[in-house]
Amino acid sequence: MRNSKINTRRLFVLFLFLGICLGQPAHPPNAPAQQDKPYVLLISLDGFRYDYAERDHATNLLALGHGGVTAKALIPSFPTTTFPNHYTIVTGLYPAHHGIVDNSFWDPARQAEFKISNSAATTDGSWWGGTPLWVLAEQQGMRAASFFWPGSDADIQHTRPTYFYKYDAKIPNERRVAQVIEWLKLPKPERPHFITLYFSDVDHEGHTFGPDSPQTRDAVRAVDAVLGKLFGEVRALGVPLDIFVVSDHGMAAVTGDVDISKLADLNGVETTPNSTDFKFYSSDPKRIDRLYAELHGRDPRIEVYRRSQIPERLHYSDNQRIGDLVALATEPVVLHLASRPGQTQPKGMHGYDVARMPEMRGIFFAAGPDLKAGLTVEEFQNIHIYPLIAHILGLTVPSGIDGQFSVLAPILR
């Protein structure tokens, strides 16, 4: 008797210890009320431009759209980079409102830098605002899973998906797909209702060789083949699954570069150099005035704005992390600081204002039991996906999001 009590306690302590090691509390099974809800798989093909599927005959992707819904394009939010847009798609918030305002930025209040190559920052939930779909699901008694998505390995509101992996670009796509299939085979109490899946290949080749290169075309076809296998296996399971395939942004062919350090004196100003927008931070308004005067009208390939004067269409003002001053590329050029020894210039880039560069637009294909079949819709903003998926899963949406359910309601069956 005494022994078994000790064993139970030991087991409990071990369980707690494991939970703490994994950085999160144990997840209960799906609540009974959630077990008959639909399943949603949200797939991102990083950097997959709106015109690639037709251009390169991505037959599996096109077929998914024919059997479901195809949008002419998906309009990314500004800046058209990976972290801000992935997180907009899963929060329904513009980057200024969810706080991941770029792949790299400075936070003047925290006096700290966020950048995607620093996993200590990317996995720290306190950087991430809003309530991503996996947190929304977990909070409402529904299990979620992620084989990658920016933010999914962070403890946002002290919650991670029940099943997730720390980001590792080297994990082969086939393994990611096999794991998703395994999740969908779990018994109902354990089976995740919301799953994300991410592939970076098309973005990678687009940067290295350019959007119009044979390498990018091959990456499009390779990813499409992986999707074909996934769609076939999913169908065989007979799970009521709605599949969404989206991208975060497109890709433009690079025409040149601008060395910002040659245009102005940057001493004494905090700077975060993203390739398409530079952010400058200083608590001294006079210092910002001087920098503005130096940069304004200096080179036709950049435009410089004080944060409060950034064009309204970009929804890019309401956050200190954006900087006190920003320099934005107006053409597909790469911005940088001083000489870049050993660095080769990318042939493709994104991050630009979609109003200036339609090549920044991405994709939206979706099919499943809750969606109409054979429907093509006009392009729409990526903020609207969140309320649609929350509706399908029967989850209550937090107030104050930027996306509107009414925009995509017509694609529901």
Interface residues toward ligand AMP, by CB under 6 A: 46, 81-82, 103, 116, 122, 148, 150, 167, 169, 200, 203-204
DSSP 50-66: TTHHHHTT-HHHHHHHH
Is residue 82 flagged as an active site residue? yes
The answer to whether the beta carbons of residues 76 and 313 sit under 8 Å apart is: no
Distance of closest approach, residue 363 Cβ to ligand AMP, in angstroms: 16
Distance of closest approach, residue 46 Cβ to ligand AMP, in angstroms: 6
Stretch that binds Zn ion, among 98-106, 114-122, 223-231, 241-249 (CB under 5 A): 241-249
Distance of closest approach, residue 80 Cβ to Zn ion, in angstroms: 8
CA neighbor of 290 nearest in space, from 308, 262, 267, 319 = 267
- Three-state secondary structure call for residue 176: helix
Identity of the residue, 68 or 84, whose beta carbon is nearer to ligand AMP in the bound complex: 84
Distance of closest approach, residue 351 Cβ to Zn ion, in angstroms: 8
248 binds Zn ion (CB under 5 A): yes
Which residue is catalytic, options 81, 82, 131, 159? 82
# chain residues binding Zn ion, by CB under 5 A: 5
The answer to whether the beta carbons of residues 365 and 59 sit under 8 Å apart is: no
Position of tokens 């919650």? Answer: 159
3-state secondary structure 207-275: HHHCCCCHHHHHHHHHHHHHHHHHHHHHHHHCCCEEEEEECCCCCEECCEEEEHHHCCCCCCCEEEECC
CA neighbor of 322 nearest in space, from 84, 92, 3, 56 = 84
203 binds Zn ion (CB under 5 A): yes
Chosen from ligand AMP, Zn ion, none, partner binding at 116 (C-beta under 5 to 8 Å by type): ligand AMP
Which of 30, 60, 82, 173 is the binder for Zn ion (CB under 5 A)?
Answer: 82
Identity of the residue, 48 or 164, whose beta carbon is nearer to Zn ion in the bound complex: 48
Q: What is the rounded CA–CA span in Å between residue 147 and residue 164? A: 6
Chosen from Zn ion, ligand AMP, none, partner binding at 239 (C-beta under 5 to 8 Å by type): none
Residue nearest to Zn ion (CB): 82
Residue type, 175: R
Residue type, 267: N
Q: What is the rounded CA–CA span in Å between residue 67 and residue 232? A: 14
Stretch that binds Zn ion, among 19-27, 87-95, 242-250, 387-395 (CB under 5 A): 242-250
Chosen from Zn ion, ligand AMP, none, partner binding at 319 (C-beta under 5 to 8 Å by type): none
The answer to whether the beta carbons of residues 320 and 109 sit under 8 Å apart is: yes
Chosen from Zn ion, ligand AMP, none, partner binding at 200 (C-beta under 5 to 8 Å by type): ligand AMP
Please, which of residues 29-48 interact with Zn ion by CB under 5 A? Answer: 46-47
Distance of closest approach, residue 200 Cβ to Zn ion, in angstroms: 8
Q: Which residues bind Zn ion (CB under 5 A)?
A: 46-47, 82, 203, 248
Question: Any idea which residues carry the catalytic annotation?
Answer: 82
